[in-house]
Amino acid sequence: MLFKVEMVVNIPLDADPAVMDAIKKQEKEYSQNLQKSGKWRHIWRVAGQYANVSIFDVESNEELHNLLLALPLYPYMEMKVEALCRHPSSIREDDR
């Protein structure tokens, strides 16, 4: 089941760069593990923004919630979630 998730990251100006670097490293690892598992299907950077557009493929709303809340950068993020489904015009087998 697919969801578009748009994440905007807001790092406070006075955040400790070393702490943030450690969190970002964990975030990358966490994201790549979910990508490998197929749960995090796509991730793109929004040009000019510290933000991404992602597509998740999960079993349920609960699974999506748990994956997102566990993001290391979650406390610094604003999130928009939108439920998607297969488009009747789609010809790609994996866009479902």
Where does this chain bind a second copy (CB under 8 A)? 1-5, 11-13, 27-28, 31-32, 35-36, 42-50, 52-53, 55, 60-62, 64-65, 68-69, 75-76, 79, 81-92, 95
At residue 4, the 3 state secondary structure works out as strand
Nearest distance, CB of residue 50 and a second copy, angstroms: 8
- One-letter identity of residue 89: S
Report d(CA 84, CA 30) in Å as an integer.
23
At closest approach, how far in Å is the CB of 18 from a second copy?
16
Which residues have CB under 8 Å from 89's CB, separation 6+?
A: none
Residues 6+ apart with CB under 8 A from 15: none
- Least Cβ distance, residue 22 to a second copy (angstroms): 15
